[in-house]
Amino acid sequence: MTDARTQLLQRMRERALLRSTSALLSWDEATGMPVAGARHRADQQALLAGMARDLAADPQVGEWLTACSDDADVKHWRRIHRRAVRVPRRLVESLAKTCTLAREAWASARDANDGRVFKAQLSKVVNLKREEADALAGGGDRYEALLDEYEPFVSAATIVPLVESLAHELLRRATTWESGPPERQPGPVPDSGQLQLLLSLAKTMGFADRRGRIDEGTHGSAAAIGPGDVRITTRFSKVDATGPVLRTLHELGHWFMDDGLPENAWGTPRGEPSSHSLHESQARFFENHVGRSDAFWEWLFPKAKAAWAPFYDASSSVAVRKHLRRVHRGLLRSWADEVTSDLHIVMRMRLERALIEGTLQVDALPTAWSDASAYWFGTRPRNDLEGWPQDGHWSAGKFGFFPTYTLGNLAAAQLAEALKRDRPEAEHELGRGEFAPTLAWLKANVHRHGGEGNVFERVQLATGRPLTAESFLRHLDARYANGRR
């Protein structure tokens, strides 16, 4: 390596260390931090964010980049440097501090089922994100500037129409296939029974205690702290025993992605996936293409029945599979099925885009959310838990993140189709509880490449076809059309 590249690599790894420390603090905030510690945590996060920004914005970094020949790593480093230079440290620190406090306000709003305690903090976040978007866009499209944080080098003109067109196809299918709210399952299932099953499932699939943690949290999450340290949280349920399984599979998908990255590339784009859509594809693959499949439940149900006893008997397997095949346009995104999940995404994408562009103000958000819910789901929220404060993304400043869920769904379906093509025996292996061959295929085609390419480029290389909605719609039609088993 040239001296410039050596210096650049060292600098970017220092930045990655600061960001991993911030991730550890975020994990602690989600799992164990006392509420009274929020203001101090906000100061900690602001300092780390400012330091990381300065490392990337340093004029010396620009000189090193000029001296380096172009390749995939340098392309990503140029983007990081450019974004850091455009956003002043003052704004970076303000965002980190305000979002930390906003997350606590959001959690309080959910606990109280009252969004009023969150609205003022959300207004502050939105104003800061508009300022950040203006700094990044340089007179261009605000929303595209924020999308770039989560799906680099892909334009809004590519992402937004794809999400929009898919949503209308799904709305037509959802209204045709809708089977009403899910029937109440036997329960309540003890938390101990759920934890026993989920830990056993994770270890069977390949999760290693020495390389990660699984904790209970208010919401499922995954935090990549660094090589050999990826932490996930899951959530139990008193009324839906299958939900915790699907949520845990989702977070395990993220864990497998992060744990499968090449450790010797940590701190470089190849060691830190830049495409959130590709990351999400791994979570959706395990949640939906594994976790809702007949083969998986043929293997898991006897173990689940034992762990959940006495709430399930031998005849309950059919009820569980029927429950997993339901289609219901419910108002809660976290409980959405495969068919309706992306309706939630397009609704949020439209609203957040309007918030960032300034055509919608936070004070008007509850009414706009209610009107959008009536269109997409045929009903309006009865309370704030069903309405605009239900997601924590905006409190964390993650405007532009929601479309990555839909892109992840499309990528997961296309990867699953390619897996079946390359390994026709994969479904039978799942029915025997053999996950290693599927994981090996994913690692070879996705995980080990890290940040090499965006979701469109990586899926094209892994499957031999451009990323489209075709595989996803074929998957839904096969699983849900002509009656559901």
Residue 241, pLDDT above cutoff 90: no
468 pLDDT band, cuts 50/70/90, is: very high
Return the number of other C-beta atoms located less than 10 Å from residue 124's C-beta: 18
**pLDDT at residue 482, rounded to an integer:** 58
**pLDDT at residue 90, rounded to an integer:** 98
Residue 153, pLDDT above cutoff 80: yes
Q: What is the pLDDT of residues 11-48, one digit of tens each?
A: 999 999 999 999 999 999 988 899 999 999 999 999 99
Question: Residue by residue, what is the 3-state secondary structure of 398-419?
Answer: CCCCCHHHHHHHHHHHHHHHHH
191 pLDDT band, cuts 50/70/90, is: confident
Q: What is the pLDDT of residues 355-399, one digit of tens each?
A: 999 999 999 999 999 999 999 999 999 999 999 999 999 999 999
Residue 485, pLDDT above cutoff 50: no
**Does residue 190 come out as left (phi exceeding 0), alpha (psi in the -120 to 50 range) or beta?**
beta
Q: Indicate the fold that domain 143-485 takes in CATH.
A: Neurolysin; domain 3 (1.10.1370)
Give the whole-angstrom CA distance, residue 479 versus residue 317: 17
Residue found by looking up tokens 């500037």 in the block: 145
Return the number of other C-beta atoms located less than 10 Å from residue 193's C-beta: 18
Strand partners, 234: 216
- Backbone angles phi and psi of 390, in degrees to 5: -70, -25
345 pLDDT band, cuts 50/70/90, is: very high
Q: State the chain's mean pLDDT as an integer.
A: 93
**DSSP secondary structure letters along 13-71:** HHHHHHHHHHHHHHHHHHHT--GGGHHHHHHHHHHHHHHHHHHHH-HHHHHHHHHSPP-
- pLDDT (average), residues 126-135: 98
Residue 195, pLDDT above cutoff 60: yes
Token couple for 279: 């990351």
Give the whole-angstrom CA distance, residue 410 versus residue 87: 32
Give the whole-angstrom CA distance, residue 46 versus residue 49: 5
- pLDDT (average), residues 251-279: 94
Give the whole-angstrom CA distance, residue 327 versus residue 336: 8
- Backbone angles phi and psi of 187, in degrees to 5: 170, -170
178 catalytic residue (yes or no): no
| Contact of 49 with 22, CB cutoff 8 Å | yes
**pLDDT at residue 187, rounded to an integer:** 59
H/E segment holding residue 135:
helix 116-137
Distance of CA 340 to the CA centre of its chain: 17
90 vs 305, which has greater pLDDT? 90
Percent over 70 (pLDDT), the chain: 95
Segment among 105-109, 323-327, 437-441, 480-484 with least mean pLDDT: 480-484
- pLDDT (average), residues 266-270: 91
Q: Which amino acid is at 64?
A: W
Candidate list 149, 251, 287, 352, residue with the active-site label = 251
Q: What is the pLDDT of residues 397-409, one digit of tens each?
A: 999 999 999 999 9
Give the whole-angstrom CA distance, residue 65 versus residue 120: 41
Buried b (16+ CB within 10 A) or exposed e, 322-356: ebbbbbbbbbebebbbbbbbbbbbbbbbbbbbbbb
pTM for the model stands at 0.95
Q: What is the pLDDT of residues 317-338, one digit of tens each?
A: 777 888 888 999 999 998 899 9
Residue 163, pLDDT above cutoff 60: yes
Distance of CA 118 to the CA centre of its chain: 22
Domain-by-domain residue ranges, the chain? 3-140, 143-485
